[in-house]
Structure 1
Amino acid sequence: MNHNAEYQQQGKATCVSINWMLGDSQLEVVNTATGQRRDSGTPSRLCKHALFTRWNRLYRKNLTQTPPHLLDHQLLYCEAKMAARPYQTVKQQWFRSLQETGLGTWVKKPPEQDQFLLSV
């Protein structure tokens, strides 16, 4: 029997997720129970808010035809997601394919998790 502190019982998952992005100098280790970085306790760079912030920044850079007063609007994450037609189409295809292949139904998170504003 292995008595190493890193030993993990077979079949039991750890509460750790590791991610890396091109250009990063190191890995980000996240506690999956809290969604926070293990080293600092701050939210992961892959959390909904961080990704939404990056999406919004890119979206605004590409809006050369949008009147400035429309860019001052605060966005709800769930509204932006619902307005993303390609994303919604692929999501519905994914849900259907799960059911058609007998893999079950996608477990949805509570809707209030997606009801946050992104300040501009």
Structure 2
Amino acid sequence: MDTNLFRFGRHLAGLRKKYNWAQDKLALESGLARSYLSGVERGKRNISLRNICILADTLGLPPHELLAFDSSNGMAADIGAGVSVPCDPYPSLNRAMQKLSDRDQAWMADLVRTLSLRLGHGLLRDE
């Protein structure tokens, strides 16, 4: 099982439940099939960037929020007992970022956030 797909799915389900939305409602509002959403939430389907942006727009969130899974503790807590999976998919990038000054790190974070927002909204407008 791909742990990133699993963690993303759990995060999506958590956000959906936070807004008290059933899978059926999210499917209807987003235009995606309920069976597809179910597969994504169970970590069985590999979701595309396009669909991440559609779901983020439907939930009223920026796309990067959907990708912020397991950021609170850095580990995947619900994969199974005794299993800990680091939530650092880009260790060399993070090491390079740590070498930057605080000001440069903040600038990079703003840049990534802005690009994520523009990419998400641009994809949805082009359809």
Q: TM-score range by the shorter chain?
A: under 0.3
- Greater share of helix residues, 1 or 2? 2
Higher-RCO chain (CA-CA 8 Å, sequence separation at least 6): 2
TM-score normalised to the size of structure 2? 0.22
Instruction: Flag the structure with higher strand content.
Output: 1
Instruction: With the length of structure 1 as denominator, give the TM-score of the two structures.
Output: 0.23
